Amino acid sequence: MRYDLFSYNNIDTTTCTFIDMPDAEVYLYSSLFMCQEADDLFDTLKNNISWQQQQIKLYGQVHDIPRLTAWYGEQNKTYVYSGIKVHSSPWNAELLRIREKIENVSEIKFNSVLLNLYRSGSDSVSWHSDDEPELGQNPVIGSVSLGETRQFQMKHKFNRDEKQKIMLEHGSYLLMKGKTQHHWLHQIQKSKKIMGERINLTFRVIK
């Protein structure tokens, strides 16, 4: 099902696709950020964000996670994921600009964002749900993609036949809400293809 959302605050009219999935509310804005704007945001974020190489401990061994990350948001917004505890850096102008645009189309107020920098096809994130307690009962995740197109894979936790593959293109915005995180897992899989860099911003509401 497709429908058009009218512009807010000088935002162009944007086509939004509702992705029909059981036990989920998922919407894709394929080109919320036009090419030049997306290019500028990618360059600025890559150069100005305080990227970190986080590590996790698996089976007694410490490993670098296969991507760079950063956590920004309102003061004292702490987040724990995969055993990693992060403290928020203050918003910068570009992050506030992106947040305003996605809030206008999704009518949700976000107070924090986890950024991921995928440096090549070798960088990835494994199957997981964004269902940490601090995200509340029905977490809302607003995901902006800049740079290389990557395939976003989803699978139902309880019905193996239910799967989705969504191509997240440069300037796209994916919104997941409702009970999605309770019933679905998602990942960005490694690829042997030669791929450029991708920045993903996942906006959240920390309770």
pLDDT bucket at 1, cuts 50 / 70 / 90: very low
The model's pLDDT over 72-104, given as tens digits with 9 standing for 90+, comes to 999 888 888 878 888 899 999 999 999 999 999
Superfamily for the 2-15+26-144+166-178 domain? Alpha-ketoglutarate-dependent dioxygenase AlkB-like (2.60.120.590)
pLDDT bucket at 4, cuts 50 / 70 / 90: very low
Compute φ and ψ for 2, nearest 5 degrees. Answer: -125, 145
pLDDT at residue 3, as a whole number: 30
Angle at 165 between CA 7 and CA 160, to 5 degrees: 130
Residue 176 tokens read as 């997941």
- Backbone torsion region of residue 57, taken as left when φ is above 0, otherwise alpha when ψ lies between -120 and 50, otherwise beta: beta
Domain ranges of the chain: 2-15+26-144+166-178
Closest CA to 22 of 203, 137, 182: 182
**Rg of the chain, C-alpha, whole Å:** 16
